[in-house]
Amino acid sequence: MSRHAQLRDHDVNPCVAETDASNKCMDDNNYNKDKCTAYFLKYRNCRKFWHAIMMQRRRNGVKPEMPSAEERKKMLESMGKPY
**pLDDT, position 81:** 85
Q: Is the pLDDT of residue 61 over 80?
A: yes
Cα angle 67, 71, 72 (rounded to 5 degrees) comes to 75
Identify the helix (H) or strand (E) that includes residue 77.
helix 69-79
Tell whether the model's pLDDT for residue 5 goes beyond 70: no
pTM score: 0.85
pLDDT at 83: 85
Asked if 30 and 63 count as a contact pair (C-beta separation under 8 A), the reply is no
Residue 70 has pLDDT above 80, yes or no: yes
Q: Which domain holds residue 28?
A: 3-79
How many structural domains compose the chain? 1
User: Which pLDDT tens digit goes with each residue over 7-57?
Assistant: 788 888 999 999 999 999 999 999 999 999 999 999 999 999 999 999 999
Residue 46's Cα: distance from chain center in Å? 5
- CA-closest candidate to residue 46, choices 8, 11, 13: 13
